Amino acid sequence: MKSADLSPALRKTRVPLPDYPGVQALVPPPPPLRVPLGGVESQLLLAHDALASLQAKLAGLPNPNLVRRTLDCREAVRSSQIEGTHAGIDHVFEYEATGSDQGLPADVRVTANYVRALDHGLREIQRIGSNQALTLDLIRTLHALLMEGDTEYLKKDVPG
């Protein structure tokens, strides 16, 4: 990118890279110490209270994982739909129950893979702890779960 393509404010954030003559990097300004919430404090408190209430109700259920699993699946479906998939939560449940994608949207496997990856990642975070769980190995495992069954991806020679 040429310097002239940058805004004047961004031009001021450039620093030279000693190992690469003539190359500069942009160093962003530090983030603000406080983020203005713009009046959403009450909504945040309501969301926090709702999550605490849900957690308390889940603790009283004989198998709280059924509710968590449904919520995780719904999250996976909605996130996948942002990427342009058309599979709904009912399609994912049908695919998981039957193991077949016949008669279902073509991208149901992608969404089901997202559910599996999310489930695996959350279990690892619970097992190991949030500070230590995020490793390159976990990221590779999650990526492999996401891409499982994707023949185009499997044809590629991906470095390990």
In a domain, 38, yes or no: no
Say if residue 153's pLDDT is above 70: no
Q: Is the pLDDT of residue 160 over 70?
A: no
Residue 86 lies in domain: 64-155
Measured CA to CA in angstroms, residue 147 lies from 27, 91, 103, 105, 152 at distances of 34, 19, 21, 17, 9
Structure tokens belonging to residue 87:
């599979």
pLDDT digits (tens, 9 = 90+) for 133-150: 889 999 999 999 998 887
Is 143 within the bounds of a domain? Answer: yes
The structural domain count of the chain equals 1
Residue 81 lies in a domain: yes
d(CA 125, CA 135): 11
Residue 8 lies in a domain: no
Residue 79, domain CATH:
1.10.3290.10
4 is a domain residue: no
Residue 79 lies in a domain: yes
* Amino acid 85: pLDDT: 87
Quick one: tokens of 95?
């695919």
- Amino acid at residue number 46: L
**pLDDT at residue 156 above 60?**
no
The answer as to whether 147 is a domain residue is: yes
pLDDT the model gives residue 37? 79
Question: Mean pLDDT across the chain, nearest whole number?
Answer: 86
Residue 40 lies in a domain: no
* Residues across the chain: 160
